[in-house]
Amino acid sequence: MKRFDLVIIGSGPAGFSAAVRGVDFGMNVCMIESGNLGGAGIMNGALTSKTMYELSLDYSIAARVDRGYRAGGLTVDYKKVRNTVIQAAKEKQYQMRSQIETFARSKHLKGGITLVQGMASFVDPHTVKVVGAADETLIQGDNFLIATGSKPREYPGIPVDGERIIDSNGILSLKQFPDRILIIGSGIIGCEFATIFSNFKQTEVHLLDRANRVLPYEDDDVSDYVAENLTKNGVTIHHTAQLRTLVKHPSHLEVILDYDDGHSKVLEVDVALISIGRDSNLYSIKPENAGLEPSDKGTLIINDNCQVLIDGKPSHIYAAGDVTGHSQLYSVAELQGRKAVERMAGKTGYPLDYSHMSTLMFFKPEVAAVGANEKMLRKQGVAYKAAYYSNKLINRAIAMRSTTGFIKILVSNDETQRILGMRASGPQASAYIVSVAHLINQGNSLGEVLKIFYPHPSVAEGIQECLRSIGKRSIYKPEAFPEDIYIREWKPE
């Protein structure tokens, strides 16, 4: 039986960042992984889906004929696309392995990382059993970090077969572009895959939206904007539709949709992609043997230091990532993993603030978000002003011939005019959203930000003009461009 300072279950963004941080503090770390190194952050998740998105975007740009040039003989092969995606994932996995092997062999470091392949489960609060391909091992630890991530949520009554009925894990199992696909679920992941397949123009794409709008947690103007762009890209969105049945036939899938207005529709598709969220991977590690009690949602309750509470008290067992019930974001998992190890090392540091997280949505064009939206502020009873500024008025966007997009900023409706949140879409939105995240975290006001010189021509100038419009100081006025600039304010009654 081997004993380590830290035993990590899972090698995704939470587990890997925690392992490396453990080495920083001289810990002897064991990282256990039952599947692909890197978890869903690398394979069948963030990196692979975004690689496929970038390839689809390249293809859609090459296929354009409105910029003065035309590509001839443009074709795309799904097998080659898939191979490129897998190559990208392996490239990152080999980087991870290179670092693990470096620390496993290094003599000048006090700590190190041992990677163990197999399925881990708790035997008692300080011991896990790891069942590998050839044997099983008992491993003990002074501290444990549960970083087992999540898996695609199952749709009741529709089992995934990995061929014609798939989830996000099955995208790379497809042998070719399906002629017709139904995507069940209109959240971020569903809309991203709808964007990817419609970008390639090889597939008739249907998107099932049970609510009256995609991205139901976002403000209506953002949701409507995304839906409009999906439709322009060739996606058929079935709003307020419920899936009644999905029947397999030898050559196709027969789908019956029931709409809220009472009518029904029968569709014929080749592949159904289930994208209705993700559930935490927790029960396979037998948390009850360690005295852990998951919540009703199958997640673990943690304190500000990412310690799991046992009988209401912080324990030597920590959790990070999707199993904690916080936002299922790569960045959240990574920071939680680091935070947990810092607490183990006696470095308390700063508390994690989940209120100002940046989110990227890979649509056409991309959408970036940080901080609050209008729905959140109204629910909290916070008075605000909202300013919207279209990319049609931004010189750099005009030069790029890419004016579909906007910048929307929320500030407090008081004397401070603190920046509370931002939504943006268009070229480079994923890059400049971080600058606004810093402004929100620092509590900066509109007046302070407007002291900054913005470079010209840049897409970020839209931030400057959007903020100027709140104080009626913008160069272009809403009176002249009522569809491209607007200001609205809200106060609780």
Q: What is the rounded distance in angstroms from the CA atom of residue 208 to the CA atom of residue 202?
A: 19
State the pLDDT at residue 167: 96
Q: Within a 10 A sphere around the Cβ of 44, how many other Cβ atoms?
A: 23
Q: Is the pLDDT of residue 157 over 70?
A: yes
**Would the pLDDT of 49 be above 70?**
yes
CATH for 365-490 is 3.30.390.30
Work out the pLDDT band at 105, boundaries 50, 70, 90. confident
| Burial profile 470-487: b = 16 or more Cβ within 10 angstroms, e = fewer | beeebebebeeeeebbbb
> What number is the average pLDDT over the span 70-96?
95
**Are the C-beta atoms of 320 and 303 separated by less than 8 Å?**
no
Over range 163-187, report the average pLDDT. 96
In this prediction, residue 458 carries a pLDDT of: 93
Q: What is the mean pLDDT of residues 24-47?
A: 93
Residue intervals of the chain classified under CATH 3.30.390.30 are 365-490
What residue has token string 């989940």? 354
Helix then strand count (H, E) for the chain reads 11, 24
The CATH architecture one would assign to domain 165-276 is 3-Layer(bba) Sandwich (3.50)
Per-residue pLDDT tens over the stretch 264-304? 999 999 999 999 999 999 999 999 999 999 998 999 999 99
Cα separation, 32 vs 36, whole angstroms? 11
> d(Cα 145, Cα 6) in Å, to the nearest integer?
7
Which residue spans of the chain are classified as CATH 3.50.50.60? 2-151+279-353, 165-276
Per-residue model confidence (pLDDT) at position 395: 96
Distance CA 254, CA 249 (A): 7
The half-sphere exposure of 110 on its side-chain side, counting CA atoms within 13 A, is: 7
Examine the pLDDT at 350 and tell me if it is beyond 90: no
The span from the CA of 84 to the CA of 326, in Å, is 32
Q: pTM of this prediction?
A: 0.94
Q: What is the mean pLDDT of residues 166-176?
A: 94
Q: Write the CB contacts of 288 (distance below 8 Å, at least 6 apart in sequence).
A: 122
The residue-averaged pLDDT of 303-331 equals 93
Query: What residues pair up with 180 in beta bridges, in sequence order?
Result: 204
What pLDDT band is residue 20 in, cutting at 50, 70 and 90?
Answer: very high
Q: Say if CB 181 and CB 164 are below 8 A apart.
A: no
Structural contact between residues 155 and 276, judged by C-beta atoms closer than 8 angstroms? yes
Query: How would you write 282-313 as a 3-class SS string?
Result: CHHHCHHHHCCCCCCCCCCCECCCCEEEECCE
Measured CA to CA, the distance from residue 6 to residue 20 in angstroms comes to 11
Residues in the chain: 493
Q: Which two tokens stand for residue 295?
A: 């919540």
Q: What is the spatial distance between Cα 207 and Cα 237, in angstroms, rounded to a whole number?
A: 5
For 132, other C-beta atoms within 10 Å of its C-beta total 13
Residue 123's nearest CA partner among 136, 134, 114, 135 is 136
CATH 3.40.140.10 for domain 2-151+279-353: no
Mean pLDDT of 444-464: 88
How far does the chain reach from its first CA to its final CA, in angstroms?
65
Q: What is the pLDDT of residue 107?
A: 66
Predicted pLDDT of residue 439: 86
**3 state SS of 417:** coil
Query: Taking Cα atoms as reference points, which of 427, 423, 420, 475 lies closest to residue 449?
Result: 420
Lowest mean pLDDT among 211-220, 370-379, 433-442: 433-442
pLDDT bracket for residue 106 (50, 70, 90) = low
CA dihedral 45, 51, 57, 60 (to 10 degrees): -100
Q: If we measure between CA atoms, which residue out of 366, 364, 428 comes closest to residue 397?
A: 428
Cβ-in-10-Å burial (0-12, 13-18, 19+) of 63 comes to middle
Which of 71 and 95 is assigned the larger pLDDT?
95
| Residue 334 confidence (pLDDT) above 70 | yes
pLDDT (average), residues 327-347: 94
Residue 209 confidence (pLDDT) above 80:
yes
For 394-437, the pLDDT digits (tens) are 999 999 999 999 999 999 999 999 999 999 999 999 988 988 88
Phi, psi of 297 (to 5 degrees): -90, 5
Mean pLDDT for all residues in the chain: 94
- Say which residue, 454 or 391, is predicted with more confidence: 391
Structure confidence at residue 180 (pLDDT): 98
Overall average pLDDT of the 111-136 stretch: 94
Q: Which residue has the tokens 């029947």?
A: 247
Query: How do strand 136-146 and strand 127-131 relate by DSSP bridges?
Result: antiparallel
Residue 274, exposed/middle/buried by CB under 10 A (0-12, 13-18, 19+)? Answer: buried
Task: Give per-residue burial for 205-228: e unless 16+ CB within 10 Å, then b.
Answer: bbbbbbeebbbeebbebbbebbbe
| DSSP structural state of residue 340 | H
- The pLDDT value recorded for residue 154 is 95
